[in-house]
Amino acid sequence: MQATATVLVYSDDANTREQVRLATGRRPAPDVPVVEFVECATVPAVLAELDKGGIDVCVLDGEAVPMGGMGVCRQIKDEIFDCPPVLLLIGRPQDAWLATWSRAEAAVALPVEPVEFASALASLLRRKSALSA
């Protein structure tokens, strides 16, 4: 198992990015690596970080302005070779179908509920680790 996992967090709202960091802690589950965060407040920053490589999971805010995480997810799934798995933060549980449209691997509702979020993130980190092995 690698020592750390890099999680990109995209939201124009610093409070949402903080909710993600606090819900994750050092690691979302005992059997996954310690998490390091790369925070992005704009879509160009997200694309630049993904171009650099080394991102294990993306957490995208579906309510971000001016471009929501659902549109960003669909774009990166189309444009980034071997795109990392995406956990989408959605405004309402009823918006889960939109997460499917965007091709996100998982979705949780805002505000971030720590146990649900950590479980979803850990699942994506496990999947990424299994695919890399």
Helix (H/G/I), strand (E/B), else coil: 45: helix
Tokens 């993904």 correspond to 50
Report the half-sphere exposure of 37 (CA within 13 A, side-chain side). Answer: 21
Structural domains present in the chain: 4-132 (3.40.50.2300)
Would you tell me how many other CB atoms lie within 10 Å of the CB of residue 68?
A: 23
Give the pTM.
0.95
Q: What is the largest CA-CA distance in the chain?
A: 37
pLDDT value for 41? 98
**What pLDDT digit, counting tens, does each position of 42-87 carry?**
999 999 999 999 999 999 999 999 999 999 999 999 999 999 999 9
Percentages (nearest 5) of helix, strand, coil residues in the chain? 45, 20, 35
Report residue 3 as tokens: 């020592």
